[in-house]
Structure 1
Amino acid sequence: MGSIFQGAPIPEGPGYSFRETPAVRQAPGPSSAAGERQHGFYPYTDNGGSTLGISGADFAILAGDTRSTSGYNINTRYAPKLYKIGGDAPDTPPIALSVVGFAADGAALAERLDTIVKMYRYQHGKPMGVAACAQRLSHLLYMKRFFPFYVAAILAGLDESGRGALYSYDPVGSYEREQCRAGGAAASLIMPFLDNQVNFKNQNVPGSGQGHALEPRKPYDLPRGTVEELVQDAFTSAVERHIEVGDGLQMMIITRDGIEEVYRDLKKD
């Protein structure tokens, strides 16, 4: 915070006021001048970490590391970035939210969305589905567009037909349903891996031809075991190349039976 006010003049006397325009301090020289000084602050910080989500035929998986950083400092080695939304009532559709970026904004956004989903149940007598929750989250982010939540959010659940549903967001509420998405510090490392292994980008059917005649592989719903291995591989690779990612891997696996949480260790250096 001190670097923000580095250029501010030193107050002189008890009558100093930010409304006054103080003289600019200069080194001794042939000339001196008076000028304006702007006082301000930057309210955001990036607390590092990464998250990802993958949807399947009857499940969806959210995952995130547990490291929280400020620059080169590690604040804590266990700061979860995944949240359950809507409570644990038996007939409540399982919904989970991952947020990465500014930790305070992420916690505030998850708490607000959780409250909205619970109030919807009390007011309407039925639980909110994942599609309606996804749209409501978009409204929450857009309402704060002039002072936005500094987070990359991913919402996961099961749609009305029981298929995995995954929605990714930018900080001002634009969203889309996808099969896989990564966010946070190591997103640029993880997303190409997911594009290749989940969406089958740049993969061709063996023996289908040569050059441009090669037939691209068609995406299909991967089994749960394969997806869990991909999540583990993605974060194992990310921690080797990124200092803001590590310590622990938290996964939320969403199925018809609810949300199962899994924790695995990652590198701590």
Structure 2
Amino acid sequence: MRERLWRLNKVEKEFQNPYKGNVASLAMLPTAPHTVNVTIHLIGPSVFGCSQHIRVMSSPFSINGGACVAMVGKDCVAIACDLRLGLQSLTVSNNFPKVFNYGDVYLGLTGLATDVATVSDLFRYKVNMYRLREERNIAPSTFANLVSSSLYEKRFGPFFVSPVVAGLDPKTGKPFICGFDSIGCIDFAKDFIVAGTASDQLFGTCEGLWEPDLEPEDLFETISQALLNAVDRDALSGWGAHVYIIEKDKVTKRLLKGRQD
């Protein structure tokens, strides 16, 4: 029995921490990365004698609100946006269009209103330079790559916008739509693309109403009903809409009047 206890003590000493009591050696101990979860509860008045209020900053994409949707039809394409400009729940204007024309291509921009204005002017300049250099209008697929590369240039300080591109290919006449995130990742689609604060509602209405190979008038009715019913369920968008129906030989722009509340 004594021999067994002696062996146990010997093993314990052999495995004893060699750095024990040595402060300099403790600093040399290998450390593994670990995560610490800290929960802070603020109760009662602050050190200045006033109550503490925690204010959560909202996303820049939802400050001004807005909604945009593009749909594919039979040899045609449609893009629509709402007209509201807000400061969260405060409506500032009901005439703030978010679809911009660049020759044969249309660009919808939702997000922070200041960035919407900046980005639309930036692409106006770049498309004009392309037209002067190439002596032709920019194609939708080329414009999509231009948007993607331009947004990726600012990836470390991105524009808070969600672009949507729509148009017809000048050679084949096939509809082209795509969407982007704020740093230029392209999302190609063959049915519809949505963006803005009402995107969740737009996904539901578009999936329920869209059908393949819609004629221009049917496409207009579908995109109009999808947008109006979606923005009626979103407090940060609405107040009417602009709808563009793009065909091979013409572009039809229509104004929709929605709920004004």
Return the match for 1:177 from 184, 188, 192.
188
TM, length-normalised to structure 2: 0.73
Return the match for 1:191 from 197, 203, 208.
203
Q: Which has the larger radius of gyration?
A: 2
Unaligned runs of 5+ in 2: 1-45, 50-56
- For residues 190 and 170 of structure 1, the distance between their equivalents in structure 2, rounded to whole angstroms, comes to 17
Residue correspondences, number: 206
Return the match for 2:102 from 85, 90, 108.
85
Task: Show the counterpart of 2:112.
Answer: 102
Q: 1:42 to 1:268 in 2, by over 3 A?
A: closer
- For residues 48 and 168 of structure 1, the distance between their equivalents in structure 2, rounded to whole angstroms, comes to 17
Cα deviation, residue 43, structure 1: 10
- For residues 200 and 110 of structure 2, the distance between their equivalents in structure 1, rounded to whole angstroms, comes to 14
- For residues 98 and 68 of structure 2, the distance between their equivalents in structure 1, rounded to whole angstroms, comes to 8
- For residues 183 and 172 of structure 1, the distance between their equivalents in structure 2, rounded to whole angstroms, comes to 15
Q: 1:249 to 1:43 in 2, by over 3 A?
A: closer
Return the match for 1:249 from 203, 219, 241.
241
Return the match for 2:231 from 230, 239, 242.
239
1:241 alignment partner, SS class: coil
2:158 alignment partner, SS class: coil
Q: 1:43 to 1:176 in 2, by over 3 A?
A: closer
Q: 1:68 to 1:126 in 2, by over 3 A?
A: same
**TM-align CA RMSD:** 2.1
Cα deviation, residue 67, structure 1: 0.6
1:61 alignment partner, SS class: strand
Cα deviation, residue 149, structure 1: 1.0
TM, length-normalised to structure 1: 0.71
- Work out whether residues 168 and 174 of structure 2, in 8 Å CA contact, stay in contact via their aligned partners in 1: yes
Task: Show the counterpart of 1:153.
Answer: 163
- Work out whether residues 67 and 77 of structure 1, in 8 Å CA contact, stay in contact via their aligned partners in 2: yes
Unaligned runs of 5+ in 1: 1-24, 29-40, 87-93, 200-219
- For residues 100 and 173 of structure 2, the distance between their equivalents in structure 1, rounded to whole angstroms, comes to 21
User: Superposed, which structure 2 residues align to 1:16-95 within 5 Å?
Assistant: 26-27=47-48, 44=60, 46-86=63-103, 94-95=104-105
Percent of residue pairs bearing the same amino acid type: 25
**AA paired with 2:82?**
D
2:183 alignment partner, SS class: coil
- Work out whether residues 239 and 267 of structure 1, in 8 Å CA contact, stay in contact via their aligned partners in 2: no
1:177 alignment partner, SS class: strand
Task: Show the counterpart of 1:8.
Answer: none
